[in-house]
Structure 1
Amino acid sequence: MFQNYFKTAWRNLVRNRVFSAINIIGLAMGLASCMLIGLYVLDELSFDRFHDKSDRIVRVVFKGTMQGGKINESHVMPPTAAALKADYPEVLDATRIRQGGSPLILMDEKLFTDENLAFVDSNFFNVFTVPMIQGNPKTALLEPNSIVISRSTAEKFFGKTDPVGKLLNFKDWKATYKVNGVFQDIPANSHFGYDLLASMSTVPEARSNSWMVSEFFTYLVLPEGYDYKKLEAKLPQTVRKYMGPQLKQAMGVTLDEFRKKGNDIALHLQPLTDIHLHSDFTYDQNPNGDIRYVYIFGAVAVIMLIIACINFMNLSTAGSSKRAREVGVRKVMGSAKAELVWQFLIESVLLTSIALVLAAILCLVMLPLFNNLSGKNMEVQLNSIPQLVPSFLLFGLFVGIFAGSYPAFFLSSFKPVAVLKGGNSIKLSSFGKNIGLRSGLVVFQFFISITLMIGTTVVYQQLKYIKNKKIGYDKSQVLVIPAWALGKNETAFRDELQRDSRIERVSLSGYVPAGTSANNNYMVTPEDNVSQFVKTLRYEVDYDYIPTLGMEMADGRNFSKDYGTDSTGVIINETAAKTLGWKDNALTKSISHRTNEGTIITYRVIGVVKDFHFRSLHQAISPLVMTLSKGSGHIIVKTKTKEISGLLASMEKQWNSFKPDLPFTYSFLDERFNEVYKAEQKTGQILGVFAGLTIFVGCLGLFGLATFTAEQRTREIGVRKVLGASVAGIVALLSRDFLKLIAVAIVIALPVAWWMMNRWLQDFAYKIDIAWWMFAGAAVVSVIVALLTISYQSIKAALMNPVKSLRSE
């Protein structure tokens, strides 16, 4: 029996090639889109779950509020781990990570610098599941100047030679580390990724008892089933016990006095598996994701699948007139309704199976492009295919039954007497009874398409606003050169560049107002209100920093070599002036800063620089303090020429003349600025692609329905033409019903899209206003697309010979 079902299903598929092709293509595109986004969502949700204790590990973070801004740090103080383990029995283990950057490593006259290094406590491997290939994980990092390296790094450094016991020469640190082990490469779906792990006992700061500096990422292991919130509720005791006395020494106020002034500081806990998608810290070990985008893309995947299934239902029920006589004959010959349901479900599963195979091929072909679009590096492993096949088949069976269930029950419900009496009656009545459902499905499809179009438009307009917004400095034709490898020759290289006629200005500073820059909490006190504490960010700059970046002074002057006292001078931004209560009279005022050792340094305000965006536009401008320094880290070059290639070649030649350890590298300031909004750019691109796919799949269904409608009204069209109706009038008649559905979709989509995108924009401190034309544009595009989709069938039906139309009935 099942063999007969399949044979009949195949014959029906071949006989209705156009409808079958539309169904298969639409369903395949929907399935492929769902698969691609599903891979993305699963990858995002998998971060840090490979650790055996992932559900028991929490990270200690530091948060606070102070006048001038918030403290929101993912790292905490050196003694935090030891204090929490000693004070709370529920802390079974505690370990720390301190970033070490990418040091210069000299091996057999070869220089390596791309490897990321971190200092970790000796119990690191007891907390995190990072398998050791060679060496003892319990003892490998006990001794100072000991190190373990990743498998790929071992192959790069030593080839096939056993690395254990070998020495690594860290040139810039003037230190040698002994390799005590090799660990498996840390997976990409981890919130940290290091190639070298060095012993924490090497770092003097790791033994510090200071609760005023925070550079250590600290993790705790809790008992199974333990609610971390219970421990978090006890952490205020830790703050009072350890931080309170040191706060009094550093700032001259008690913790209670500090809080009475509206300030606060606190330790919090963050589950390990929440770090990647639920972090909003000013700095972290790796760029994190955003749970909102997981929700958005997950919703898009489900919607694409639903739309593809809706198309299937629409086209199957729309083609019911062609199967009416078949159903009638089968019922007269004794077929039960259940047998007919099985027949149509098998047809549905057959179509779905073909679409599923095509979708899998599309998914594999498009995966590299999607990786490039999403910034991922996902791949389907050959050894995982056997495990995926059962899920793949079950997924196809589910989609086939889900998409085919309604058409199966609908088609099998035809009454044989009505069908065999004369096909037209059943066609019209069936269409009339089910027009509501099909109309609702079309409305849903275009509601989603219009919503995605509006969302894409808003995202792109926000990115355009960010790109063109006046940010308080000139980022065009500005080169940023990492110069720390020059050492003492930084100043000499800068002076040589300054003599080049193609260069306008050069500055030397470690602080670049775009991309990743140094973050610090610099607490200052105004001279006229010694009880006030203001959190600022401190930039150490040279005399040329402000003019090189095209910043403007709101009041006062820049640092100048003509004033010997500028070493104790300070320039603040407008926000700092307002926060300190010096809106119009900041000049000649002074601020004080108390160091960790308790020493008070006083600076005199010599200028107020106009506010500029040194962080992303997600955040409001916060108070900033600039102090005079010789500068180091980056050479910032403002160029005059557009022939950058020749200038870069000259710069590289000058760079090489100093024989530095590293090759000449550079970046453009505007590119660093755009990199900050990479996540938004990816979101806009992905939304744009899937908005287009949604519209295309929706149009396939609309085309099929237009074809069916034209067939249903063949006789009516013939009668109207005989009575003198024009081609334009008939086209308008056939298009009117569909345009009504598009209009309903527009009315529903506009408020929903406004609400969703307004919520998205709230994450930006500086954002666009959602304009009316964004909605009007999406509405017009949807109408035009719908008209183009149905116009072919409408015009074809209107041009048909009326004699032939009437004969067809």
Structure 2
Amino acid sequence: MKASQPTPPKWAERLLCWYCRPAILEDLQGDLHEYFERNVKAKGVKRARLIYILDVIKFFRIYTVRKPEFINLLIHWIMLGSYIKTSGRNIVRNKLFSGINIIGLAISMSVGLLVIALVSDFRSYDDFHENKDRIYRVITAHQRQDGPPMNLATSSVLAGKRIKESVTGIEKVTLMRRGFGGDAKVGESVMPLSGIWADEAFFSIFTFPLIQGNPATALKDPYSLVLTETSARKLFGSENALGQSVKFDTINYIVTAVMKDIPRLSHMHFDVLVSFATVDLVKPDMDGGFMSWSNIYSNYTYILLPEHGDAQTVQASINKISTAENKALEDQRIDLNLQSLGEIPFNARLSNPIGLAMNGIALWILGGFAMIIIMSACFNYTNLSIARSLRRSREVGIRKVMGARKMHVLGQFIVEAVIIALLALLLSSGVFMLLRSSFLSMEPKLQTMLSLELSPRLVLQFMLLAITVGLLAGLPPAFFFARINIIKVLKDISSLQVFRHVNIRKALIVVQYTFSLIFITTTIIGYNQYKGLISYDLGFSTENIVNIKLAGGVKGDLLVKELKELPEVTDISRSLMVTSLGNIHGMQVKYKNDSSGVWLNLIDENYLPLHQHKFLAGRNLHAIAEGAEESEVVVNEQLLKRFDIAKRDPLKALGEELLVDTMRLTIVGVVKDFNYGTLESTIEPLIMRYASIQYYGNINLRVKTEDWPATFARINAIWQKLDKVHPMEAKFYSDQIQEAYNQFSVMVKVFGFLAFLAVCIASMGLLGMVVFATETRLKEVSIRKVLGASETKLVYMLSKGFIALLVIAACIALPATYFFFDKVVLVKFMYHPPMRVSELILGFFIVMLLALVMIGSQTLRAARTNPAEVLKNE
């Protein structure tokens, strides 16, 4: 076997590589290795290695040693200072273009700041819980054979108990139930409070610090009550609440603990907690079987995983429970899934939430639109920077002649863009403070869900946004100037082409105005659709109807008696619910051998005439005495179609019987279909029954008055006489319908604001381009004017290119907007007014008019310039 060749000491080689300049390292290493091999043959390995070490030390000289890193760092800092000074001079020297860029970036970044603040708030939800990353909620996916799938934040009590008993890998499980509340009475004082039932594991999972009481036992015994700090102060003042008695209805509860108030950024809010052990005692066998697997509408299950616990393993065990329990169900399936605590605030699509939530998709869409606005402002920067290339090319040329490399040119333009973005951040921060209050006021729920307060973390995120925007805006012109050939640039920089025959500046203008037209056209169509939705013919009358929600100790019959005495009240009725607002009540109905779930409203004999429902056949419900047996029902057309009653003939359907609960009710009337839910849903089968007084939740008044404030004052006085604790909730029916579509209204406002920003930014960019184009063509304009060209022809010559770009943008934006509404937005609404071509064209004319004003003002100024002033030095 051939022996291995001897090598120099490794540490000596590393020492040489460490101190030697890279330019001479390879040659010096080669020479030393050559000498080493000769010395090995002549003097032996040991002496050769010693000589190699001495040579490495000997060559440690000034001309071989690389420059220290701190010198390179110092040079970079000196260059950075130079970039900042040069950038400042350029910003001051070019006030118009700098102003356009700073204002455009500031306006666009203000939307970005708002989105960052929104996301920051939602990501901060429930951060005060020490074990947030290990807490999960059990949610339900419910599917009936003949119905749409439902996703619920709730789950059954049985599911929680099965998980607690049989699933391993879980540290704690807590069961909760919504719906506790009412008038809390302490002595003579009465205070309405709401809360939830929770078991003894609640405080071991969630971090809600107690001021008084033991968290391990506070919710253990029946009739135990935990108050928040504010609730305790309202009920007991400065007195010690612990051990005191609080009465709800006829039951006394004992205060076992007082907890600190819940932070705003919490997905659950309550005034009181009641021990879960109380539920069976207060409402035994509620909801048709408290421990039923299908009792999924009011209860919540939360679990706490151990450290390093595996949610997927737990989910697999829960799936086995679902499979086993679903075998007993005939026409439905209930599956359980885990949802992390951090996901809850972003999932508004779950029914029966315990608190408010934001639609995560809507947040992504808003973020996408904000990015479009920011990119539009970045386009402005790129567009104007490249448009000024004739002037900046000289600066770049001198720098390159003086030895500047590509990295130096890149650094100069990127630093300038970042400085402009940071200046824009100062302005956008002020705009953000104005936007914050306006945004929160658009929807009352937002004020309870969000704070949007500045914090050190949020300020840092704002700074990162500004730097990112600066990089996005500065990189394209930086690369543009870093790569250009100096001779070619000085000759004709405007000849730069990208995408083959499309000029980059024209492409950016088309992109900007395409988005601007999409935003403004979307706003116009959305507004008209919103107005159409709230004025849509629902199939009954809502004019001059006021709905009063019953609450607390007010007895409906006494209130009705008092209200009838008012001369302004022409009609009065009672109902379980107010229809067409999105609230739905349902029940099972059977006709012969066919059964199905149908919609329901409980009404009195005055309801249908007051709302002017149209009868296709039959009559109204007759009033029955309190406690008398119910025998009649009024149905809609869809119910006849669903069960194919009398071949869907309203007249022949009269007298047919329906099995409702355990009662046989006779159809005495058929009303024309009307929108029971919102216009997003189809009209479904419906029954309307006469109900006992205890089931009515609303009183409906038809009011005729010339002085609405005075009339409301008299109605409120009657309410206060009957109930001094609860404020009256009275609203116009028309106002309630507007509130039902409030999310659509908010979306229109947001789009309108984005449209305004997009048009402003695009218009500023267009103004800058027109100013530059007219300035660079002044000599051409002067020569043409000397040769006899009229002002009209000169204006046309200067503006026709820009107008053509706007037409191209319209050809892209208008079909895209129509497709967006026709295939995405309006498909969610079963009933809506049709779109009109005029709505599409109106947005185009608005944008075109603004653009023509800017183009015309600048081109007309150029056309009126005195040729002698321009050509006198030629």
**Is TM (by shorter chain) over 0.5?**
yes
From the superposition, tell whether residues 562 and 217 of structure 1 become closer, same or farther in structure 2 (CA, over 3 Å).
Answer: closer
Structure 1 SS opposite 2:137: strand
Which is further off, 215-224 or 663-672? Answer: 215-224
From the superposition, tell whether residues 649 and 346 of structure 1 become closer, same or farther in structure 2 (CA, over 3 Å).
Answer: closer
Which is further off, 43-52 or 120-129? Answer: 43-52
Match of 1:250 in 2: none
Q: 2:765 matched to 1:765?
A: no
Deviation at 1:778, TM superposition (A): 2.3
Deviation at 1:401, TM superposition (A): 2.4
Separation (CA, whole Å) in 2 of partners of 1:357 and 1:427:
34
Q: 2:176 matched to 1:111?
A: no
Structure 1 SS opposite 2:540: coil
Q: Structure 2 matches for 1:49-128, cutoff 5 A?
A: 51=129, 52-53=131-132, 56-61=135-140, 63-65=142-144, 67=146, 74-89=153-168, 93-100=172-179, 102-107=181-186, 109-113=188-192, 115-128=193-206
Match of 1:572 in 2: 635
Selected match of 2:251 from 154, 175, 190: 175
Which is further off, 91-100 or 428-437? Answer: 428-437
Selected match of 1:344 from 400, 408, 413: 413
From the superposition, tell whether residues 611 and 93 of structure 1 become closer, same or farther in structure 2 (CA, over 3 Å).
Answer: farther
Q: 2:281 matched to 1:199?
A: no
From the superposition, tell whether residues 265 and 578 of structure 1 become closer, same or farther in structure 2 (CA, over 3 Å).
Answer: farther
Selected match of 1:322 from 384, 391, 396: 391
> Which amino acid in structure 2 is aligned with residue 575 of structure 1?
Q
Separation (CA, whole Å) in 1 of partners of 2:666 and 2:730:
35
Separation (CA, whole Å) in 1 of partners of 2:860 and 2:372:
32
Structure 1 SS opposite 2:354: coil
Separation (CA, whole Å) in 2 of partners of 1:731 and 1:78:
77
From the superposition, tell whether residues 308 and 135 of structure 1 become closer, same or farther in structure 2 (CA, over 3 Å).
Answer: farther
From the superposition, tell whether residues 764 and 534 of structure 1 become closer, same or farther in structure 2 (CA, over 3 Å).
Answer: same
> Which amino acid in structure 2 is aligned with residue 451 of structure 1?
I
- Residues 236-287 of structure 1: per-residue CA shift (max 9 Å, x gap): 534445x54xxxxxxxxxx2xxx4xxxx342443524544444545544345
Match of 1:704 in 2: 768
Separation (CA, whole Å) in 2 of partners of 1:222 and 1:42:
24
Deviation at 1:686, TM superposition (A): 0.6
Structure 1 SS opposite 2:630: helix
Alignment length (residue pairs): 772
Selected match of 1:797 from 852, 862, 872: 862
- Is the contact made by 1:62 and 1:75 (CA closer than 8 Å) also made in structure 2? no
Deviation at 1:361, TM superposition (A): 2.5
Match of 1:512 in 2: 578
- Is the contact made by 1:504 and 1:638 (CA closer than 8 Å) also made in structure 2? yes
Separation (CA, whole Å) in 2 of partners of 1:613 and 1:45:
38
Separation (CA, whole Å) in 2 of partners of 1:309 and 1:182:
54
Deviation at 1:490, TM superposition (A): 2.0
From the superposition, tell whether residues 380 and 457 of structure 1 become closer, same or farther in structure 2 (CA, over 3 Å).
Answer: closer
Deviation at 1:760, TM superposition (A): 1.8
> Which amino acid in structure 1 is aligned with residue 741 of structure 2?
Y
- Is the contact made by 2:138 and 2:301 (CA closer than 8 Å) also made in structure 1? yes
Deviation at 1:614, TM superposition (A): 2.4
Deviation at 1:73, TM superposition (A): 5.0
- Is the contact made by 1:559 and 1:566 (CA closer than 8 Å) also made in structure 2? no
- Residues 697-736 of structure 1: per-residue CA shift (max 9 Å, x gap): 1111111111111112112111211122111211111111
- Is the contact made by 2:191 and 2:725 (CA closer than 8 Å) also made in structure 1? no
> Which amino acid in structure 1 is aligned with residue 298 of structure 2?
F
- Is the contact made by 1:524 and 1:591 (CA closer than 8 Å) also made in structure 2? yes
Separation (CA, whole Å) in 2 of partners of 1:764 and 1:189:
32
Separation (CA, whole Å) in 1 of partners of 2:110 and 2:364:
19
Q: Structure 2 matches for 1:124-523, cutoff 5 A?
A: 124-170=202-248, 173-204=249-280, 205=283, 208-211=290-293, 213-221=295-303, 223=305, 224-227=309-312, 230-231=316-317, 233-240=319-326, 244=329, 255=330, 259=331, 264-269=332-337, 271-272=339-340, 273-280=342-349, 283-373=352-442, 375=444, 376-377=446-447, 378-379=450-451, 381=453, 384-385=455-456, 387-413=457-483, 415-417=485-487, 425-429=491-495, 436-487=503-554, 489-515=555-581, 517=583, 519-523=584-588
Structure 2 SS opposite 1:203: helix
Deviation at 1:66, TM superposition (A): 5.5
Match of 1:630 in 2: 692
From the superposition, tell whether residues 474 and 336 of structure 1 become closer, same or farther in structure 2 (CA, over 3 Å).
Answer: same
Q: Which runs of 5+ in 1 are unaligned?
A: 245-254, 595-599
Q: 2:756 matched to 1:692?
A: yes
> Which amino acid in structure 2 is aligned with residue 136 of structure 1?
N
- Is the contact made by 1:61 and 1:74 (CA closer than 8 Å) also made in structure 2? yes
- Is the contact made by 1:57 and 1:271 (CA closer than 8 Å) also made in structure 2? yes
Separation (CA, whole Å) in 1 of partners of 2:518 and 2:167:
51
From the superposition, tell whether residues 457 and 492 of structure 1 become closer, same or farther in structure 2 (CA, over 3 Å).
Answer: same
From the superposition, tell whether residues 101 and 549 of structure 1 become closer, same or farther in structure 2 (CA, over 3 Å).
Answer: farther
> Which amino acid in structure 1 is aligned with residue 718 of structure 2?
Q
Selected match of 1:543 from 605, 614, 627: 605
Separation (CA, whole Å) in 2 of partners of 1:496 and 1:393:
62
From the superposition, tell whether residues 190 and 551 of structure 1 become closer, same or farther in structure 2 (CA, over 3 Å).
Answer: farther
% identical equivalent positions: 27
- Is the contact made by 1:310 and 1:441 (CA closer than 8 Å) also made in structure 2? yes
From the superposition, tell whether residues 340 and 209 of structure 1 become closer, same or farther in structure 2 (CA, over 3 Å).
Answer: closer
Match of 2:815 in 1: 751
Match of 1:648 in 2: 712
Deviation at 1:235, TM superposition (A): 4.8
Separation (CA, whole Å) in 2 of partners of 1:673 and 1:193:
27
> Which amino acid in structure 2 is aligned with residue 60 of structure 1?
I
- Residues 618-670 of structure 1: per-residue CA shift (max 9 Å, x gap): 11122222221133332111112242222222223333443554344422222
Separation (CA, whole Å) in 2 of partners of 1:351 and 1:445:
20
Structure 2 SS opposite 1:472: coil
Match of 1:249 in 2: none
Compare relative contact order (CA 8 Å, sep 6+) and give the higher one, 1 or 2: 1
Match of 2:58 in 1: none
Separation (CA, whole Å) in 2 of partners of 1:352 and 1:661:
55
From the superposition, tell whether residues 428 and 299 of structure 1 become closer, same or farther in structure 2 (CA, over 3 Å).
Answer: closer
RMSD: 3.0
Selected match of 2:780 from 716, 719, 723: 716
Selected match of 1:34 from 112, 117, 139: 112
Computing the radius of gyration from Cα coordinates, the structure with the larger value is: 2
> Which amino acid in structure 1 is aligned with residue 517 of structure 2?
I
> Which amino acid in structure 1 is aligned with residue 100 of structure 2?
I
